[in-house]
Amino acid sequence: MTGSESARVEIDQTKPSISRVYDALLGGKDNYPVDEKVCEHLRETMPQIDDLAKLNREILGRGVRYLAGEAGLKQYLDLGAGLPTMENTHQVAQSLQPGANVVYVDNDPIVLAHGRALLEENDQTVVVTADLRHPDNVLAHPDVQRMIDFDQPVAVMLVGMLHHLHDDEDPAGVVAGYMDAVPSGSHLFITHFCNSGPEAKETENSFLEFLGTGRFRTNDEILALFRGYDLVEPGLVYLPQWRPNRIVRDKLTIVERLMVGAIARKP
């Protein structure tokens, strides 16, 4: 981040942030010692936790490729977008659909600071700083209204995000808040920490203790988020199993079983 950008946004370097911890796990440089400390704690419980971030980022690319390619979507609402890194949504989507509009939403001001720099010459992509737990506010935001035509199908993306909402923050209600606003033919793309066994439970405890969020939900809880929509093949599966572009071993490792993902179409 340049000096002028860091002056414009207030970044608390004394507390870890979800986006910066994720950046650190991905091997990025947009994080502080307090974020790296959280990563160290997470690695004590789950030594391959960095791989989980990479697996999530990889399915994000494959998912957007599906949405822009096979599903032919031209509008993207990427909620909890995170810091720019490899294969960002707008790069993948606009490589397949050159006219696609992409709105990134994140409540962490560092995302806006870095997004601005990346998007200076892209008038089809914007970064909105907002709390996605309030869909009505996000949907009414002038940039969202300007970029998204709610009469046309929209890709609603909550990738690596909903597990950072506690149960009492009503993740299902948040999903519905966005999906109710988009027409038939829209798609929902979710990846989520999953409760696949004792290691997942230990990793959840570590996330909750050191980052404050990170719910490892059951497959039934995650499937409920897709209720009313048609899952596209192969349904809800562990991340490496969703339309892989390389050979996937039959027996997945523990870290490969810590997250699931799916895309569904609104009928």
User: Whole-angstrom Cα distance, residue 49 to residue 52?
Assistant: 5
202 binds ligand SAM per the rule CB under 6 A: no
Residues 112 to 141: which contact ligand SAM by CB under 6 A?
A: 131-133
Q: Of residues 42, 49, 52, 60, which one binds ligand SAM by CB under 6 A?
A: 60
Residues, the chain, total? 267
Binding mask 79-98 for ligand SAM (x = CB under 6 A): -xxx----------------
Other CB atoms closer than 10 Å to residue 191's CB: what's the count? 27
User: Whole-angstrom Cα distance, residue 163 to residue 78?
Assistant: 16
> What is the distance, to the nearest Å, from the Cα of residue 103 to the centroid of all Cα atoms in its chain?
13
DSSP state of 103: E
Query: What are the two backbone dihedrals, phi and then psi, of residue 60, each rounded to the nearest 5 degrees?
Result: -60, -45
Question: Which residues sit opposite 217 in a β-bridge?
Answer: 194
User: Whole-angstrom Cα distance, residue 62 to residue 64?
Assistant: 6
160 binds ligand SAM per the rule CB under 6 A: yes
65 binds ligand SAM per the rule CB under 6 A: no
Toward ligand SAM, which CB reaches closer, 56 or 124? 56
Query: What are the two backbone dihedrals, phi and then psi, of residue 219, each rounded to the nearest 5 degrees?
Result: -60, -35
Stretch that binds ligand SAM, among 78-86, 112-120, 198-206, 219-227 (CB under 6 A): 78-86
Cβ(101)–Cβ(76) under 8 Å? yes
Toward ligand SAM, which CB reaches closer, 166 or 267? 166
210 binds ligand SAM per the rule CB under 6 A: no
Q: Of residues 159, 188, 232, 237, which one binds ligand SAM by CB under 6 A?
A: 159
Residues 166 to 195: which contact ligand SAM by CB under 6 A?
A: none
38 binds ligand SAM per the rule CB under 6 A: no
Toward ligand SAM, which CB reaches closer, 122 or 213? 213
45 binds ligand SAM per the rule CB under 6 A: no
What is the H or E stretch that residue 190 is in? Answer: strand 187-193
Q: Of residues 107, 152, 219, 241, which one binds ligand SAM by CB under 6 A?
A: 107
User: Whole-angstrom Cα distance, residue 109 to residue 55?
Assistant: 25
Stretch that binds ligand SAM, among 104-112, 139-147, 219-227, 247-255 (CB under 6 A): 104-112
161 binds ligand SAM per the rule CB under 6 A: yes
What is the H or E stretch that residue 34 is in? Answer: helix 33-45
Quickly count helices (H) and strands (E) in the chain.
11, 8
Binding site for ligand SAM (CB under 6 A): 18-19, 22, 56-57, 60, 80-82, 105-108, 111, 131-133, 159-161, 164
